[in-house]
Amino acid sequence: MIRLVTFDFWDTLVTDAPANLRAQRTLRVAAIRRALRDAGHLVSEAEAEDVHERSGVLLAERFWSLNRDPSPEEQLRLVLDTVEPGVAARLAPPAFAAALAGYTEPVLAYPPELCPNAAQAVRELAARGVAVGIVSNTGRTPGAVLRRVLERYGLLAYFGAVSARAGVAAEEALHIGDNPDADVVGAQGVGMRAAHYTAGFRRASAQADLIIPDLSMLPDEVFRVASPAAGG
Domain boundary among 50, 82, 109: 109
Average pLDDT estimate for 30-57 = 97
- Is residue 230's pLDDT more than 60? no
Mean pLDDT, the chain, as a whole number? 93
Cα–Cα distance list, 103 to 34, 72, 110, 175 (Å) = 10, 9, 13, 30
Regarding whether 123 and 9 lie in a shared domain, the answer is yes
Regarding whether 137 and 64 lie in a shared domain, the answer is no
How many CA atoms lie within 13 Å of 98's alpha carbon, on the beta-carbon side? 14
134, β-bridge pairs: 7
Regarding whether 161 and 129 lie in a shared domain, the answer is yes
Domain that holds residue 179: 4-16+112-230
Distance CA 144, CA 96 (A): 17
Regarding whether 100 and 30 lie in a shared domain, the answer is yes
Regarding whether 37 and 94 lie in a shared domain, the answer is yes
Average pLDDT estimate for 211-232 = 80
Whether the model clears a pTM of 0.75, i.e. scores above it, the answer is yes
Laid out side by side, the sheet with 159-161 consists of 159-161, 131-134, 4-7, 173-177, 193-197, 210-212
Domain boundary among 61, 91, 109: 109
- Is residue 162's pLDDT more than 60? no
Regarding whether 99 and 141 lie in a shared domain, the answer is no
Regarding whether 103 and 177 lie in a shared domain, the answer is no
- Is residue 163's pLDDT more than 60? no
As for how many domains the chain has, the answer is 2
Domain boundary among 109, 130, 162: 109
Regarding whether 101 and 10 lie in a shared domain, the answer is no
